[in-house]
Amino acid sequence: MKAMIFAAGLGTRLRPLTDHTPKALIPVAGKPMLERVILRLKDAGFDDITINIHHFGEQIIRFLRTHNDFGVTVHISDERDMLLDTGGGIKKARPFLDGNEPFLVHNADILSDIDLAAVYKHHRESDAEATLLVSRRQTSRYLLLDDAHYLHGWINKSTGATKPEELAYREGQYEEMAFGGIHIISPSLFRYMENSQWTGKFSIIPFYLSICKTARIQGYPLQGCRWFDIGKPETLAQAEQYYSSHCPAATSETKTGKI
């Protein structure tokens, strides 16, 4: 099974920790967040993992090689010349991800105990071309889903802006859910990226919103699971506290690169 991890981010909100270290290698309870995500994916059955790099990318390559790629097949999608954002990053990695099976996309700075294999199975058994992990957490920007959890649009509650532009938003018409940084994509979706609009650097959410009328994009509500977005010092501290209390520290096997 294939997966992609976004590990190219600059991590500006975590400075000064990221002044000399890529965000993906910032430790959480003794283990770099990238290691935690790789091992979670491996435990769920994903054995072919693409990782994009940009900020201090050579450190990530060295880390992976030192740990023998954690016993899985690893491909590096190199964005050191230009950071391509989430959509552009997926499109650049297409040679590693294309094929006959869906692939999971996971932000390196998202840690959760969600059953990734179950999300993947749900996607495969549905008619959706993308399945997005969503939750009811408090934010200003929400995806708009119908009762069957299919995507219809997006709203910024602070400004009132909506997407797609032609969306007629009415309060209470849709479930308002926040994106959780984990999604499953069927390679059939790449056909929409062949449009000249989607070249170079672009975000995946505007892409989803532009095609949700013709492609079936569904949400997968997060229920009863732990979820941390380690993008800010306060959430890093929360994750540190949780994983220190509930998860074992790095083992001698991971320290020596044996998995």
- 3-class secondary structure, 159: coil
Residue 164 preceded by cis peptide, ω within 30: yes
Q: Token pair 């000399």 is at which residue? A: 20
Do 212 and 223 meet the contact criterion of CB atoms below 8 Å apart? no
Rounded Cα distance between 2 and 209, Å, is 24
Question: 232 has which bridge partners?
Answer: none
Task: Tell me the per-residue pLDDT of 63-96, one tens digit each, with 9 for 90 and over.
Answer: 999 999 999 999 999 999 999 999 999 999 999 9
Average pLDDT of span 36-56:
96
Give pLDDT tens digits for 235-256.
Answer: 888 878 888 887 655 433 333 3
Q: Per-residue pLDDT tens for 150-203?
A: 999 999 988 988 898 778 788 888 999 999 999 999 999 999 999 889 999 999
What is the pLDDT at residue 248?
54
- CB atoms inside a 10 Å sphere around CB 230: 26
Structure tokens at 63: 């880390």
Contact 84, 201 (CB under 8 A): yes
Burial of residue 170, with CB atoms counted within 10 A of its CB: 0-12 exposed, 13-18 middle, 19 or more buried: exposed
| Block residue for tokens 């990238």 | 34
CA–CA gap between residue 72 and residue 65 (Å, rounded): 11
> What distance lies between CA 90 and its chain's CA centroid?
11
**pLDDT of 108 higher than 90:** yes
pLDDT at 247: 62
Amino acid 244: pLDDT = 84
217 bridge partner residues: 130
- Segment 211-233, tens digit of pLDDT: 999 999 999 998 878 888 887 88
Tokens 């672009």 found at: 202
User: Is residue 102's pLDDT more than 80?
Assistant: yes
111-135 pLDDT tens trace = 998 999 999 999 999 999 999 999 9
What gap in Å lies between CA 14 and CA 33, rounded to an integer? 13
- pLDDT band, very low/low/confident/very high, at 208 (cuts 50, 70, 90): very high
Q: What is the pLDDT of residue 251?
A: 39
Q: Which domains does the chain have, with CATH numbers?
A: 2-256 (3.90.550.10)
Classify residue 150 by its DSSP letter: B
Q: What percentage of residues in the chain have a pLDDT greater than 70?
A: 95
List phi, psi (to 5°) of 180.
-105, 10
Considering only CA atoms, which of 110, 126, 149 is closest in space to residue 4?
110
Tell me, what DSSP letter sits at residue 131? E
DSSP state of 52: E
SS3 content of the chain, % helix, strand, coil (to 5): 35, 25, 40
Query: What 3-state DSSP class applies to 176?
Result: strand
Query: Could you read off the pLDDT of 3-31 as tens digits, one per residue?
Result: 999 999 887 887 887 788 899 998 988 89
Matching residue, tokens 């859910």: 177
